[in-house]
Amino acid sequence: MNEDFIHCWNEILVPKWNRFRHLLSGNGGIHSELAYPHFGFRVGDKVLDIGCGYGETCLDIGRMVTDAGVVLGLDCTEAFLADANRERDQAGLRQVRYELGDAQTHALPSEYFDVVFSRFGVMFFESVVMALRNAHRALKPGGTVCLIVWRTIKDNPCWGGAKEIALKYLPPPGDQAKTCGPGPFSMADEETVRAMLKVAGFTQVELFRRIDAEICVGTSVEEAIDYQILVGPSGEIVREAGPEGQKQLPLIRAELGALMQAPRRADGSVWMPSSTWAIMARKS
């Protein structure tokens, strides 16, 4: 199953992510800038970033740990890492490097890293616990795992509003849907995440902080509509509905257009509320 998820990232999602990278990474950046001060990266830290995507957070962290530290970005999507390598070279951050692999099984040096970090990565792994266990082994005693994950879809109108509209016209994706993993909201429940961390070996959870921020869902209403049709929960519903999804598109687009009018700013961009957890747990 994990291979199916990895295939989905490489074959289906890359073109969509490339098209909307300015929104996806820009919004990720809003949340990571708010979370970094809680995580307290130190000069000289060795950091593993799991599910690092294009590696923007690796570059941020690389600057925080300086060239006295090390950042290893790990991701299963080749195309993201090709961009990440190019951008790392442009930034001249030799302390940052990338490896292609599955975070659940990738061979990592044991007790080497001070911090394992992930922004919006872990929720897409087939077994978060397996990946967290792998990370736990790679951490030095006293090291931390620092995660940024979405809170519930109810707390994220930036995704939830469009999903409700899509579901008015189309069925939810079935059991056989081509999906990129358990999904963005799979780590929204605090109790469940605390249990996952415990099972993976983390006994001390030191931070569970809610972070709320308005994020940009389109630089224009047209782009905001395209964004919701192609990515996120509504994008998955439309994609999985096949020809029926295409048939219903004019009605869905019209409703999305109405939804995007109210949160439109003076420059035409559309901003909606979003909410994440910043989580930190320590290895004893």
Ligand X SMILES: C[S@@+](CC[C@H](N)C(=O)[O-])C[C@H]1O[C@@H](n2cnc3c(N)ncnc32)[C@H](O)[C@@H]1O
Contacts with ligand X, residue ranges (CB under 6 A): 2, 5, 9, 25, 28, 51-53, 57, 74-77, 80, 102-104, 119-121, 124-125, 181
For residue 205, what are the β-bridge partners?
Answer: 281
Ramachandran area for residue 201 (φ above 0: left; ψ -120 to 50: alpha; else beta): left
What residue spans of the chain are helical by DSSP H?
Answer: 2-8, 14-19, 21-39, 56-65, 78-91, 128-138, 157-169, 190-199, 221-230, 232-240, 243-261
Decide if 85 contacts 74 (C-beta within 8 A): no
Least distance in angstroms from the C-beta of 171 to ligand X: 25
Least distance in angstroms from the C-beta of 121 to ligand X: 4
Least distance in angstroms from the C-beta of 261 to ligand X: 28
Point out the residue whose Cβ comes nearest to ligand X.
Answer: 53
Residue 12 per-residue DSSP state: I
For residue 49, what are the β-bridge partners?
Answer: 73, 117
Between 119 and 283, CB nearer to ligand X: 119
Least distance in angstroms from the C-beta of 250 to ligand X: 29
Between 53 and 143, CB nearer to ligand X: 53
Instruction: Measure Cα distances from 47 to 1, 40, 91 in Å.
Output: 28, 12, 18
Least distance in angstroms from the C-beta of 58 to ligand X: 9
Between 152 and 246, CB nearer to ligand X: 152
Between 45 and 102, CB nearer to ligand X: 102
Between 102 and 240, CB nearer to ligand X: 102
